[in-house]
A and B are shown apart, each in its own frame.
Chain A
Amino acid sequence: MNLDSLTQNSGEWLRAVGPEADIVISSRIRLARNLSSFPFTNRANTHQKAEIEQYLQGRLQKLDIDLQLDYFNLATITPLDRQLLVERQLVSRELANSEGPRGVAVGANEIVSVMINEEDHVRLQVIRSGFSMDEAWQEADRLDDKLEEKVPYAFSEELGYLTACPTNVGTGLRASVMLHLPALVLTKQIEKVFRALQKINLAVRGLYGEGSRASGDFYQISNQVTLGKSETTIINEIRDVIPQIIAYERQARQTLTRESRPLILDRVKRAFGVLKSAAMMTSEETMDLLSSVRLGVNLGLIDDINIVVVNQLFIHTQPAHLQKLLGRELDSEERNSERARFLRNRLSEMDSMN
């Protein structure tokens, strides 16, 4: 796998396959693990971090699994490539922006990624398209077992897997589901949903995790509690609440098409028109317009474009992807005009295909 070929496609989580893929973009499992014989990453010196990296990388290569893992050394690749991996959700922003020996092993299809020397020595992630929490967990659990055969994890019977931050201790598990909720945003019911989720201890975040804005009406819902509940309980609590949110979103979509069809049609068509003809386009505006178009496609209001292409545009118009696709670095103003040009080209290709 090389990063340039990665850029051309959209990765598993935006493939728009899997159950409820019109609303549930992806399901993700993350496990935090540490080596018992080293200090946590924040306390390890460069030498120790290099040792940890080398040790884990060696073990990952020897895993008894039918999955090829490609390793990217984050200390030596360009900042643009690091950003690319962040946009693809294979690497956290924290890991990309930190320093010292660190990296990520990525499986084919980009379903599996294992970050090394993030806040914890190991951050194992499985991300699947659509509402596939159980499949994601089974895969993460299996990989964790395989890695654990070769690596002594820091574990205590009382507190479970020991992590650098006490908010992750216990299972070290963060289960999250990314949802596209444009109708709940438009009908101003989204806050109500948030409040209900917070009452049951679930966190709501934007597209790129902690502290990020929910651009494009994408929301990630995840557990906060990691100690005192089994993995299955944590996953079930998330899994049980998602169908309710899906139902609310569908209801809101119905209300919109029933009560304000001309308005919503206008919104979708305008969004499409702007994307097809603007000369400057920020990444934020692109996300918001694509969100309206995505809603339009799912409501059958627009058939000029299919959902897979919309999903792909979400990622290809991100700053690092855009620059990689064009093969050069761009400042932010250049990016805005190149992004607009890219969208015009892609969407007029669609027109000529229809």
Chain B
Amino acid sequence: MQKCERCTSPATVHITEVLGEGKFEEHHVCEQCYPKYLHDSADLGQGAKALTSDSGGSELEEALFGQQECPDCGIKFVDFRNNHRLGCSRDYDVFRNELIPLLENIHGETRHVGKTPRRYPQTKQAEAEMLQLRQRIKRAVDREDYEEAARLRDQIKTQEDV
């Protein structure tokens, strides 16, 4: 059996990177090294982006980008690189530029074609309202207005029960 190119375990994941212009690159890694591989290939994706970027300050841009923080969950892309987990659903928007090449690598596609929740449009609205309510609770707690926080909490409860 083929060995993992990063350690001595048997390679169980086989990847063909499409480099463009009919060029391909084969990689063979084990399950344990696969997340690391993904993480490194995300680096590559970013490198490619920096190369094609026409603004001269791409390096600076990239440095700034890696530092960008999700306003909801507070993670930076570098946190994702370290533990391979995103912090909340909004990260897919916030780190979109970094994630799309990664998704392309993993799945070979970047667009969902499967099931859609039947009540998706309503969900979206309710979801936005709920997020707003939760943020208002946080602000109320921050300014120690516990009465308001309790009121908002009850409001969430009734909405959730609908």
Residues of A at under 8 Å CB distance from B?
Answer: 34, 36-40, 42-43, 55, 119, 141, 144-145, 148-149, 152-162, 164-167, 169-171, 173, 191, 194, 198-199, 203-205, 210-211, 224-231
Contact = CB atoms under 8 A, between A and B. Distances in A.
Contacts of B50: none
Interface string B47-68: 0000000000000000000000
19 contacts: A40-B86, A40-B87, A42-B87, A119-B85, A155-B120, A156-B92, A166-B99, A167-B106, A169-B103, A170-B109, A205-B31, A225-B106, A225-B108, A225-B109, A227-B107, A228-B109, A228-B110, A229-B114, A230-B115
Contacts of B89: 34, 36, 40, 154, 156, 162
Given A152-B127, A165-B86, A204-B12, A37 B112 contact: no
B118 A42 contact: no
B123 interface: yes
Given A145-B118, A166-B102, A228-B113, 6 more contacts: A39-B72, A43-B87, A43-B88, A148-B119, A170-B107, A225-B107
Contacts of A39: 72-73, 87-88
Contacts of B14: 198-199
B143 interface: no
Given A43-B75, A203-B12, A227 B130 contact: no
Contacts of B99: 166
Interface of B: 1, 12-14, 31-32, 38, 72-75, 83-89, 92, 99, 102-103, 106-120, 123, 126-127, 130-131, 134, 160
A326 B84 CA distance: 41
Contacts of B127: 36-37, 152
Contacts of B112: 156-161, 169-171, 227-228
B121 to A, nearest CB: 10
A39 B70 CA distance: 11
A211 B32 contact: yes
A119 B83 CA distance: 12
Contacts of B31: 205, 210-211
Contact of B73 (A43, A161, A228): A43
Contacts of B107: 170, 225-228
Nearest to B28: A198
A18 to B, nearest CB: 25
Given A40-B86, A203-B12, A231-B114, A166 B106 contact: yes
Given A36-B89, A165-B86, A166-B106, A148 B12 contact: no
Given A119-B85, A165-B85, A231 B115 contact: yes
B12 A198 contact: yes
Most buried by B among A157, A169, A210: A169
A42 B85 contact: yes
A228 B72 contact: no
Given A37-B134, A198-B14, A171 B114 contact: yes
Nearest to A229: B113
A227 B103 contact: yes
A195 B134 CA distance: 50
